[in-house]
Amino acid sequence: MTRYFLVFFICVLTAVLVYWQDIFPLQRELALNKQQEKQLAQQLKALYVQGVSLEEKMGQLPETQNLLNEWQKKCIKQSDLDKLLKEIAATGKRDKLQIKLLSSQAIIQENHYLKQPVKILLTGDYLQTAQFIEHLASLPWTVVVGDFSLARESSSETGQFFSTDILFYVYYFKANSG
């Protein structure tokens, strides 16, 4: 009986040692592999969602390119800035405004384009000034009014006259600057 017990004890001891030495590390490795599988599945799902999003964005690319092209057409060439300033002066005269100052200031470099500030000081009645600003906004180039101030200068029987100080910006690309 002692022999059977001793053989049984040695078999159990061998089984426990084999379990701890061979099977237990495999169970830990299996648990790590399952955790890694979950992480990879989440990454794959994220990549799939990004892929779908990328396909949608790629579908929008021609439309975005067309919008960019339209915007670029509205940017003036630096060599045409004098032409624009002359057109603005002529518009002021047509709107019966007296232009006291029309001068371009130092160029501001932005990301892929240049911004040319232009200061204009003019006098005239309110409706003529409003009409002039409307003409500025309807120019075929991108002209953005930055600062704007309007102050009453004088009043007469024919109406009120205002002094208007406008700082606007004209945009053009660095590639178009030369």
The domains of the chain are located at 1-73, 78-176
pTM of the predicted model as reported, rounded to 2 decimal places: 0.57
Tell me if 171 sits within 8 A of 118, measured CB to CB. Answer: no
Count of Cβ atoms closer than 10 Å to residue 145 Cβ: 12
Structure tokens given for 113: 């384009």
pLDDT at 177: 42
pLDDT at 176: 43
pLDDT above 70 for 69: yes
Q: Whole-angstrom Cα distance, residue 134 to residue 68?
A: 24
Q: Which CATH class is domain 78-176?
A: alpha beta
pLDDT at 163: 92
Q: pLDDT tens digits for 15-41?
A: 888 877 877 777 788 888 899 999 999
pLDDT above 60 for 178: no
Burial (CB count within 10 angstroms: exposed 0-12, middle 13-18, buried 19+), residue 12: exposed
pLDDT at 55: 81
